[in-house]
């Protein structure tokens, strides 16, 4: 069975009319992802489907605005990752991991607590002809990486507790987020913002299309 069919099968019991298709992302150097069909009628979910979507959200079916913005930045500035070991925290579809691998990273680790997300990362790596390693528990990382990316993970305020651990685990940290407008955390600073979009389009307000780039680094002693 193809990766698209396997991923579609994983959601079929919950979302009756959903399909997972390969989509070429705009302005991403031909990067493709398996995503939810964009004609999926998400405003007409049954109560059971809505319950599933709210309680066990399959984030990997979407390319979130922050992940798309981060992937574009990596592909436009490959020197950020070239020859480096990279970790994509909260990988979802693995869009950032795949972009880093395409841009010439030496090793790429896709980290997510959702097993289906890791399956999607692996499938998306195959789709793009690149390699990514999979990690289901950030605290099992047993090495320091060069660059850690975390795109659209701060929607869950509990994830803010990871910010110091990211600096322990990586020489450089990039956080991209459209929900958190002004992050104040030691060793992190906001650098700039760009407009982006979630795919398939969720018709989000413009304020959720404006993605902030935060950069973190701890001075080495
Ligand atoms: C909104 S999605 C973003 C996905 C992707 N980075 C993007 O921008 O398209 C957030 C992802 O973070 C993952 N996540 C949330 N908490 C996590 C944790 N503690 N460790 C690893 N992954 C986590 C979720 O399972 C989900 O796949």
Residue 94 in contact with ligand 1 by CB distance below 6 A: no
Q: Which atom of ligand 1 is nearest to the CA of 117?
A: 27
CB atoms within 10 A of CB 166: 24
Q: Which atom of ligand 1 is nearest to the CA of 198?
A: 9
pLDDT in tens, 124-139: 999 999 999 999 999 9
Mean pLDDT of 55-84: 94
pLDDT in tens, 154-173: 988 899 999 999 999 999 99
The dihedral through the CA atoms of 20, 78, 187, 109 has a sign that is: positive
Q: How confident is the model at residue 38 (pLDDT cuts 50, 70, 90)?
A: confident
For residue 102, is pLDDT > 90?
yes
Q: How confident is the model at residue 41 (pLDDT cuts 50, 70, 90)?
A: low
For residue 30, is pLDDT > 90?
yes
For residue 44, is pLDDT > 70?
no
Helix axes 3-11, 115-127, angle to 10 degrees: 160
- Domains in the chain: boundaries: 3-60, 62-216
Rg (C-alpha) for the chain, rounded Å, is 17
Residues contacting 10, CB < 8 A, separation 6+:
116, 119
Question: What CATH homologous superfamily does 62-216 map to?
Answer: Vaccinia Virus protein VP39 (3.40.50.150)
Residue 89 CA to ligand 1 center (angstroms) comes to 7
Q: How confident is the model at residue 221 (pLDDT cuts 50, 70, 90)?
A: low
Burial class (CB in 10 A: 0-12, 13-18, 19+), 145: buried
Question: Distance (Å, rounded) from C-alpha 217 to C-alpha 116?
Answer: 31
Question: Distance (Å, rounded) from C-alpha 28 to C-alpha 174?
Answer: 18
Beta pairing class for 188-195 and 210-216: antiparallel
Q: Go through the chain and tell me how many residues it has.
A: 221
For residue 114, is pLDDT > 90?
yes
Write down the pLDDT at residue 52: 66
Residue 34 CA to ligand 1 center (angstroms) comes to 16
Q: How confident is the model at residue 141 (pLDDT cuts 50, 70, 90)?
A: very high
Question: Distance (Å, rounded) from C-alpha 160 to C-alpha 109?
Answer: 21
Burial class (CB in 10 A: 0-12, 13-18, 19+), 25: buried
Residue 29 CA to ligand 1 center (angstroms) comes to 23
Write down the pLDDT at residue 29: 97
Q: Which two tokens stand for residue 87?
A: 């970790």
User: Could you tell me the pTM of the whole model?
Assistant: 0.95
């Amino acid at each position: 069975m193809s990766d698209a069919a396997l991923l579609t099968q994983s959601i079929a019991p919950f979302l009756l009319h959903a399909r997972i298709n390969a989509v070429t992302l705009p302005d991403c150097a031909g990067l493709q992802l398996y995503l939810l069909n964009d004609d999926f009628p998400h405003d007409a979910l049954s109560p059971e489907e809505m319950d599933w979507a709210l309680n066990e959200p399959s984030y990997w079916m979407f390319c979130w605005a922050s992940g798309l913005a981060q992937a574009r930045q990596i592909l436009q500035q490959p020197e950020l990752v070239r020859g480096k070991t990279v970790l994509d925290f909260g990988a979802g579809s693995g869009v950032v991991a795949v972009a880093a691998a395409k841009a010439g990273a030496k090793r790429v680790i896709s980290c997510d607590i959702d097993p289906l997300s890791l399956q999607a990362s692996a499938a998306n790596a195959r789709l793009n002809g690149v390699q990514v390693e999979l990690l289901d528990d950030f605290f099992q990382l047993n090495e320091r990486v060069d660059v850690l990316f975390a795109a659209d993970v701060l929607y869950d305020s509990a994830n803010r507790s990871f910010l110091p651990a990211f600096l322990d685990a990586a020489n450089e940290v990039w956080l991209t987020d459209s929900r958190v407008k002004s992050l104040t955390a030691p060793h992190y600073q906001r650098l700039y913002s760009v407009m982006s979009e979630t795919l398939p389009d969720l018709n989000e307000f413009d304020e959720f299309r404006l993605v902030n780039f935060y950069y973190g680094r701890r001075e080495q002693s």
